[in-house]
Structure 1
Amino acid sequence: MRVLGLALAACLWLPASGWAQAAPAAPTVTLAEALQAARDSVDVSLARRTLAAARADVVAADHAPAPVLTTKATSIDLENGVGPGNALRDKRIDKSVGLDWTWERGNKRELRTRVAERTAEAAQLDVAEVAVQQQVLVASAFYELLAAQERVGQVAAIEKSAADLTAAAQRRQRAGDISQQESLRTEIEARRAQADLRAAQAERVRAMLALGQLIGRRGEFEAEAAWPPLTAEVTAAPADVEQRADLQAAQQRVLAARAALDHAQALRRNDVTVGTSLDHYPGTSRRLLELRLQVPLAGVFGTYGQEGEIDRARAALEQAQDQLEKTRRAALADAGRLAEDLRAAADRATAFDRAIVPRARQVASMAELAYSRGALPLVDLVDARRTLRSVLLDDIAARAEYARARTAWQLRQAPATP
């Protein structure tokens, strides 16, 4: 019995990563691979399609009105006829061919191009923002899978030690050293550990499927066991939110709305259409020249002066400014939350790593040794094991929480890279 207690105590001292590495080999996914897959996810692809459409709008906006070719045939005498001869050269038909071109006044082309360019720049920054959001989601799912793997390892070790204790208790009962009640109690603990192991394995599968959905991975795989180290980064200040892609995109949309307002105001300057035609009318002249000038009378004599377009553009600008302020406030709150989450998670993970886990292992080891020598009742041993199990699982949760907070904080610290 002393040998059994020492063996169980040694198991309790093994690190969690050791149990995870003892699992059957399976293809692994590193955090870098998962983050790269996040940058190429379907959501990022959809944002890139929106960017491509916005860039096409720039091309559509940056061109002058095309000249208009006009041909006509008039003064056709249906009563007396048009006379003999070639239709183009001799018949009495007034024929003409001309060109008309609209001169855009008020710098409209440059303004509408500026609107499209600012919108395209905002769409490009949206791509960067979606990529960051997807990376945060993937990193969280990655560490959730890694934590689930660690939990399976820990619970498997607990299940094995409980099974060994049950077997030893049954031998002692047959030898008359312990009562049947104590033997049954160890069996209950063993069955409970088996149920916990099945639950942990199911949770690992769910975490694997969740990560696989985000990165487009199918089949069985594991997250590479690589927890981030505890570093001094936890004392860093919140990120400069002005460098965030979502805030920069909102700023570009304000510039686009301001350019749209300028364009709406420029509509008050009426465009001028100039044109010329060359006429051919046999019997009168073969070369008649026509000059045309067309000017809309919008805004003259009390008619419509683009008030609706201007008011709508002004409202859109104010809306974009409000959205910018809302985005800035949300970014500031998010930056503060990320920094505080990182500090709190680091403190908790450090407490478990340096104080709680070592003491729980020490207490469990002492309980195992005392029980093997008959100096501790079974109920105290079971309580010590339960405490250690709870502490080890809480330690895994603390490390996963710190890893998620640290990765999210790092991703938000990086400047926007559209």
Structure 2
Amino acid sequence: MYLECAAPGVGDASVSKLAIVAAVLLSLASAAAPARDLTLPEAESLLVRNNRELQAARRAMESADAQRVIAGARPNATFSVNAASINDANTIDNQRSGADTVFSIDQPFERGKKRELRLDAAGGLQRAARNDYLDVLRQQLAVLQGAYYDLKLAQERAQTLAENAQLFAGTLNAAERRLKAGDLAPADVAKVQVDYERAQNDARGAQADLARAQIALAYLLALEAEARELRAVETWPALERADAAAAEDAIDARPDVAAARTRVEAAERLRDLARAQRTRDVTIGAQYERWLPGGTPTSSFGVGVSVPLFTGYDFSGDIQKAEVDRYAALDSLARLRAVARNELARAASDLNAAAERVERFEGSLLGAANRSAQASEFAFSRGAISVLEVLDARRTLRAVRLEALGARADYAKALGAWRAAQASVQSLDAR
């Protein structure tokens, strides 16, 4: 748009640099052309369906389901057949007596409510695995919100820096016109040219940051093949503050704390199961024996009962280990409650600080920087101020706009972290 005003010599260089600006803007347009517009709820739905970390947590749940089936199994019976005196000759009349065959079956019976205790423990671990899955979902939702708003930040940053590069191109063109008119020194034009080159580098670097943000979000959604098409279209979230009173109530409702609590219950059942091993199981057997003394078939039936004798080991080690495991589960529960309390306090503090920062930018800083830059551009175009003054105003506007974008992104991520920190089992289960 400024090519027709370029002066000879220095203007030729300006033509090529303006072409670079146009190329950057065209690259932005071409990158956005096949874009896949993605709202945050759509991204959350894709996360639940495709995320690899969630898939691994589902496999752990399926394994816990299988463990409960195993825990409910009853002891299998044992059937055996034994044959003796095969082709044994009678020593008196040299007659064959035939084989002595014994059929037997033995069935163990558990005592001491061992099966019920196993089922209770496995059920607790099954619920813990479910809560572990919900905790992974809680964490991944926070990561997703961070990655989503990182992408939105990268998009707006790339747009801002591309516009900044275009404005510096206009400033350079105006400086060259004043140089041609003899109103500006070549050294001042060179200073404008340096800032112009920096603006081009910043615009190109913003494109690389945009690609990285797309790749990070695509991994979470398992959409790597479509990474370059992803575009965040959600608006920046409205400002809200953290409620410190709600933080304390949210601790026990969190899935990680709930999982630790169910593991304590499972550890208590496993301790009871270890103690129950001292209750002797009983094995009842029955047998049928058939033999042919003197060629005459003869049969007999019998029953038997067997119980273990604790002559070498009375399971005291198993009981001690189960008791230690229970205390370890209690320690883990206390630790996770403390972690949850600290996480909630930190998330609340970060959210309130980020909200205050956004309010300052939107309340005064952005407006003042825009007004200052517009006044400087107008004054410079009329020759009322020096090139250094307009460059300072341009740098200030650029810095404030980028800081405001960063503040909005920080707030959006802090809000996601706060919501994740206080997410309950019920709210996550509804997803």
Aligned counterpart for 2:322 among listed residues 297, 313, 316 = 313
Question: 1:293 corresponds to which residue?
Answer: 305
**Matches of 1:83 and 1:129, distance apart in 2:** 80
Pick one of 191, 198, 208 that aligns with 2:197: 191
Using the alignment, how far apart are the partners of 2:115 and 2:336 within structure 1? 31
Cα deviation digits, residues 226-250 of structure 1 (max 9, x gap): 2333333444642611111111111
Q: Which residue of 2 aligns with 1:370?
A: 379
Select 2:260's aligned residue among 250, 268, 277.
250
Please say if residues 29 and 221 of structure 1, whose CA atoms lie closer than 8 Å, have aligned partners that are also in contact: no
The 1-side partners of 2:95 and 2:167 are apart by 116
Asked whether the equivalents of residues 142 and 417 of structure 2 are also in contact (C-alpha less than 8 Å), the reply is: yes
| Cα distance in 1, alignment partners of residues 141 and 29 from structure 2 | 26
Aligned match for 1:167, one of 161, 166, 173: 173
Deviates more, 1:263-272 or 1:403-412: 403-412
Q: Aligned equivalents of 2:342 and 2:200: distance in 1?
A: 44
Map residues 331-350 of structure 1 onto 2, 5 A cutoff. 331-350=340-359
- Answer yes or no: is the 8 Å Cα contact 1:235–1:343 preserved in 2: no
Work out whether 1:67 is the aligned partner of 2:77. yes
Q: Secondary structure at the match of 2:290?
A: strand
% same residue: 34
SS in 2 for 1:73: strand
**In the alignment, what sits opposite 1:147?**
153
1:265 is aligned to 275
Q: Which residue of 1 aligns with 2:15?
A: none
**Rounded Cα–Cα distance in structure 1 between residues aligned with 2:98 and 2:201:** 103
**Residue 143 of structure 1: CA displacement?**
0.8
| Residue 109, structure 1, aligned to residue 115, structure 2 | yes
Q: Any stretches of 5+ residues in structure 1 without a counterpart? A: 5-19, 86-90
Deviations 1:385-418 (A, max 9, x none): 1111100000000000111111222233332235
- The structure 2 residue matched to 1:397, chosen from 384, 406, 409, is 406
CA deviation vs aligned residue, 1:338-358 (integer Å, no higher than 9, x gap): 111111111111111122111
Aligned counterparts of 1:225 and 1:396: Cα–Cα separation in 2: 15
Structure 2 counterpart of 1:73, one-letter code: A
TM-score normalized with structure 2 length? 0.85
What's the offset of the Cα at 1:84?
Answer: 6.2
What is residue 25 of structure 2 aligned with on the other side? none
- The change in CA–CA distance for 1:115 and 1:159 in structure 2 (over 3 A counts) is same
> Normalized against structure 1, the TM-score is what?
0.88
Equivalent pair of 2:158/2:203 in contact (CA under 8 Å)? yes
State the 1:285 CA deviation.
Answer: 7.0
Letter of the 1:350 partner, please give it: E
Unaligned runs of 5+ in 2: 6-27
For each residue in 1:258-297, what CA deviation from the matched residue of structure 2 results, as whole angstroms up to 9, or x when unmatched? 1111000000011111111122233487331211010111
2:314 is paired with a residue whose SS is coil
- The CA distance in 2 between the partners of 1:370 and 1:235, in whole Å, is 48
SS in 2 for 1:273: strand
Aligned residues: 393
Q: Distance in 2 between matches of 1:413 and 1:325?
A: 17
What is the rounded CA distance, in whole Å, between the counterparts of 2:380 and 2:44 in structure 1? 49
Structure 1 contact 146–222 (Cα < 8 Å) conserved = no
Relative distance call for 1:230 and 1:381 in structure 2 (3 A) is same
Match of 1:229 among 237, 242, 263: 237
Q: Distance in 2 between matches of 1:22 and 1:384?
A: 31
SS in 1 for 2:252: helix
TM-superposed deviation, 1:181: 1.9
- In the alignment, which residue of structure 1 is the partner of 2:19? none
CA distance in structure 1 between the aligned counterparts of 2:369 and 2:346, rounded to whole angstroms: 31
Displacement of 1:22 in angstroms is 11
Shift of 1:83: 7.5
Asked if the contact 2:242/2:418 (under 8 Å) is kept, the reply is no
Q: Cα offset for 1:222?
A: 3.5
AA matched with 2:301:
L
Shift of 1:36: 2.1
SS in 2 for 1:276: strand
Matched, 1:274 2:284: yes
Partner Cα separation in structure 2 for residue 215 and residue 317 of structure 1: 38
